Amino acid sequence: GTKTERAFHDVLARGGVVGGTSAGASILSSYLLRGARAGNSVVMAPEYEKGFGFLRGVAIDQHVVARERLPDLADSLLPRRPDLLGISEDEGTAWVVRGDVAEIVGRNKAFVYGGKDATDSGRPFLTLYPGDRYDLAARRVVRRASAGSPVAGAFLDSLFAGVASAG
């Protein structure tokens, strides 16, 4: 309800772009995670849950790999708010959203919690890679960047199998 928030909405109404990193990314969603005055270890805090609402029905977490927060959305958010789609990303990675469709850009991965696609094996989230596209409203992968590659994922996995088991 601030003048700043209204100015962001005005920018979008004129066809402009808004964005953010860290807490600036989290507040773009309709549901604000880690907004508590007590600190960012509190995932959900009453009275500190309303974001700007640019991404409706979404909650954004940040620094999930660097701060070992990958299970937090599945453990804290989804049991209490299954209506929300949880999204997050690794450092150096972003969601570029146009309408309801997001493309993952950057050098690392992004993650989806509560979507309609199957989650990764043994994990409570779906991993997205640079170039992948995801429909936030339909909660589904629209396109995998690897789909057009002549190199099969299984072949790539086989190249690194020895390294993964060695370490």
At residue 40, the pLDDT reads 64
Q: Which whole number is the average pLDDT over 94-103?
A: 92
67 sits in the region (left: phi over 0; alpha: psi -120 to 50; else beta) called: alpha
Return d(Cα 82, Cα 118) in angstroms, integer.
16
At residue 20, the pLDDT reads 84
At residue 37, the pLDDT reads 66
At residue 117, the pLDDT reads 95
Q: Any alpha helices (H) in 56-152, and if so which ranges?
A: 72, 78-80
User: Which of the two residues, 160 and 3, has the higher pLDDT score?
Assistant: 3
Q: Which whole number is the average pLDDT over 70-91?
A: 88
At residue 154, the pLDDT reads 72
Place of tokens 């989806």: 112
At residue 69, the pLDDT reads 81
User: Which of the two residues, 100 and 40, has the higher pLDDT score?
Assistant: 100
Q: What's the token pair of residue 94? A: 């972003």
What are residue 75's DSSP bridge partners? none
Q: Which whole number is the average pLDDT over 96-104?
A: 93
Classify each residue of 86-102 as buried b or exposed e, where b means 16 or more C-beta atoms within 10 Å of its C-beta: bbbbbeebbbebeeeeb
Place of tokens 């004129």: 14
Q: For the chain, what percent of residues have pLDDT higher than 90?
A: 40
At residue 52, the pLDDT reads 87
At residue 137, the pLDDT reads 94
pLDDT digits (tens, 9 = 90+) for 20-51: 888 778 888 888 876 556 666 666 667 778 88
User: Which of the two residues, 138 and 33, has the higher pLDDT score?
Assistant: 138
User: Which of the two residues, 123 and 42, has the higher pLDDT score?
Assistant: 123
Note the Cα 113 to chain centre separation in Å. 8
